[in-house]
Amino acid sequence: MTEETCISHLLKNIADFKQQCSNDQITLLNRLWPKTAVQKYRIGVMKLLPKVHKLTGDIDENSWKFLPSRPIRGAELDPMKHPSKVLYKLLQKMLVQLKDEYGSLSMFDLEYPILNGCDDYISRLDKLRLQKDFIMKTVLITADFSDAYTETCIKSLQISIFKIGELLMIPYYEIDLMIKLVELVFSNSYFYTPNGLYRQTRGMPMGDYSSR
């Protein structure tokens, strides 16, 4: 597809999505949909964020050939930006409700146990205070997911939204809207590379609003 064809395809998918929404869902969409109009749509571009800290050995003129990178989809003018922002707002609202309901689960009596990114993790470590006798006897263990974004199963995300939504007694139309938005946003993730136009078919893209 050309960029123009792809943009038309995405705008049609958004229009079709809205047609399938109930009146309650349309009201909620209108309230959360960004008011700023996009003057000219553009398909996102795949950017590579270099991980210089992962280079091993001495750095020389050939080091760039082995430089690991993190793929980021820059899509500031993409048609899916607005529905992605709506999904982000709904997911954040649900997480806040979850925090309010189960905030006391933290075994260290610090904060809500689900972390919201690296900055949240670092700030919590700063607040951790150990007694003198235990400082040298305490081991903090951290872990990370390999390829977390591309390995995230969209179907599992939709099931999680449904179960958490039911648990928090969120209105069904709102739960259903989030599930529909997940399908719309993450099945229509297009981006340019030097080799042409691609669509992401696994997981979710890094850099997208609703991926946060």
Inform me whether the pLDDT recorded for 107 exceeds 60.
no
Rounded to two decimals, the pTM is 0.81
Inform me whether the pLDDT recorded for 143 exceeds 70.
yes
The helix/strand count (H/E) of the chain reads as: 8, 4
Distance CA 171, CA 66 (A): 50
Inform me whether the pLDDT recorded for 172 exceeds 70.
yes
Distance CA 210, CA 212 (A): 5
Inform me whether the pLDDT recorded for 111 exceeds 70.
no
Inform me whether the pLDDT recorded for 201 exceeds 80.
yes
Inform me whether the pLDDT recorded for 108 exceeds 60.
no
Quick one: what percent of the chain has pLDDT higher than 70? 93
DSSP classification of residue 113: S
Which pLDDT tens digit goes with each residue over 49-103?
Answer: 888 888 888 888 888 888 888 888 888 889 999 999 999 999 999 988 888 887 6
Average pLDDT over residues 152-178: 94
Inform me whether the pLDDT recorded for 113 exceeds 80.
no
Q: What tokens does 136 get? A: 């040298």
Which pLDDT tens digit goes with each residue over 116-134?
Answer: 667 878 887 888 778 888 8
Mean pLDDT value across the chain = 86
Q: Which residue has the higher pLDDT, 170 or 149?
A: 170
Distance CA 100, CA 134 (A): 31
pLDDT on residue 25 = 96
Q: 54 Cβ partners below 8 Å, 6+ apart?
A: 68
Enumerate long-range contacts of 115-121, CB under 8 Å, 24 or more apart.
117/212
The H-or-E segment that residue 11 falls in is helix 3-19
pLDDT on residue 138 = 84
